[in-house]
Amino acid sequence: MLVHIPNVLTAEEVALCRQRLEAAEWVDGRVTAGDQSAKVKHNLQVPENSPTARELGDIVLRALARSPIFASAALPLHVYPPMFNRYDVGMTFNTHVDNAIRNVSGRRMRTDVSSTLFLSAPEEYDGGELVIEDTYGAQAVKLPAGDMIVYPATSLHRVNAVTRGSRWASFFWTQSMIEDDRQRRLLFEMDMSIIQMRTVVPDDHASVLGLTSCYHNLMRMWCKM
């Protein structure tokens, strides 16, 4: 399930992130890659534990907390501290799958959901599309600055080579309360239907109450906490 979430960051937040990243230290992106990914990864990253990464990561986490679509699509239990990368001309990240387990402060978390939050406007660079192998084939994603794509961490994906300009983004993983992507998809579609239904019938209408009851009972059945 691919979910495009617009305006996760405001224009002011994007501008602040860009300002901080302009002055940040950048290192080889392979420092956080697994054995397989390191062979195909060619980009730059801000060191995970740097003051810049922590400051901007907090901005992203606050933005996620106010996004009902992210909450509905990811059903987050734990969110990995957001990281920041850039692809200059010639840089790419060939086809790979994300590591299944990440360590956060000595605690292991499962990566169920991957997210990429774009910090560069599409007109700032050529190439650099995030290409995700979805159920319906390869989907190329290139979003406005401040928008985010959420997709299963089990997906094969790549970043096409940048041929002009520079592509900047934040990326992170979420351990979901719902491990199975098919179940998350069903719950997300059900939640969106409930929200839409509430625009045309009262909240206490039998159809809204019945569908809401089904949603929460499926959550009880499938949640792993």
* Residue 4 marked ligand-binding: no
157 annotated as belonging to a binding site for a ligand:
yes
Task: Determine if residue 167 is labeled as part of a ligand binding site.
Answer: yes
Amino acid, single-letter form, for residue 161: A
Q: Are 144 and 111 in contact (CB under 8 A)?
A: no
Residue with token string 């080579």: 161
- DSSP per position, 140-188: EE---TT-EEEEETTS-EEEPPEEEE-EEEEEEEEEESS--HHHHHHHH
96 in a labelled binding site: yes
Looking up tokens 């900047």, which residue turns up? Answer: 168
Burial degree of 15 (CB within 10 A; 0-12, 13-18, 19+)? middle
Cite the annotated binding site for Fe cation by residue number: 96, 98, 157
Cite the annotated binding site for 2-oxoglutarate by residue number: 167
Cite the annotated binding site by residue number: 96, 98, 157, 167
